[in-house]
């Protein structure tokens, strides 16, 4: 009825998760998380944390965030209202897609989510007012392990669909990835 199907993206280890949605006269039903279906895509262990993010204004960018080992985390990102441009950046030094990014438009109407492995930074841009996402984390937030990359990092050249706006002070202050950046260990 509401199966999850996982498909690889061009970014190593990042999966596109498609939800089946059941629609009837009452409305609709879709499964957002299923450990059995996601295990084959790399999700192991429990969900340690679930966050809900609301971006009030179109163009708002949040991210790019990641956590360092031993607090590295997988993330399953779903848009539950509005539309977002969801971005994963591969920061894993041993990955064949190191410093490459993949983006996917997410909305409740597409039934698509992104599953990011440890060692990938995550960010998104609101493509509509009142964009809301729910994301599951495989590890709890650890402030001492947080890392980030400025969303306009020139080495990444992310093609944001709208001008980058409304960055938090923290996100605006992430240092540039110097030429000496060799990646992270997930």
Active site residues: 65, 135
Tell me 45's DSSP state.
S
Answer positive or negative: Cα dihedral of 145, 107, 153, 42: positive
Q: How far apart are CA 84 and CA 70, in angstroms?
A: 29
> In the chain, which ranges are continuous DSSP H helix?
35-39, 169-172
Q: How far apart are CA 137 and CA 79, in angstroms?
A: 15
Cβ contacts of 31 within 8 Å, gap of 6 or more = 2, 3, 4, 19, 20
**Token code pair at residue 165:** 């706006």
Sheet holding 61-67, edge to edge: 101-106, 84-90, 120-126, 61-67, 146-148
């Amino acid at each position: 009825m509401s199966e999850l199907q996982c498909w690889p993206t061009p970014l190593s280890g990042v999966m596109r998760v498609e939800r089946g949605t059941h629609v009837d006269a009452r409305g609709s039903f879709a499964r957002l998380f299923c450990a059995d279906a996601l295990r084959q895509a790399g999700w192991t262990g429990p969900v340690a944390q679930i966050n809900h993010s609301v971006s009030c204004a179109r163009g708002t960018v949040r991210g790019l965030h990641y956590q360092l080992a031993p607090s590295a985390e997988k993330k399953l990102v779903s848009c539950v209202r509005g539309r977002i441009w969801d971005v994963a950046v591969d920061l894993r030094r041993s990955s064949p897609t190191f410093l490459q990014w993949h983006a996917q438009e997410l909305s409740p109407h597409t039934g698509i989510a992104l599953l990011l492995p440890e060692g990938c930074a995550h960010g998104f841009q609101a493509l509509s007012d009142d964009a809301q996402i729910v994301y599951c984390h495989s590890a709890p937030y650890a402030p001492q392990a947080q890392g980030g990359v400025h969303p306009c990092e020139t080495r990444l050249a992310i093609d944001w669909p709208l001008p980058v706006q409304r960055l938090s002070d923290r996100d605006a202050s992430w240092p540039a990835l110097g030429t000496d950046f060799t990646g992270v260990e997930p």
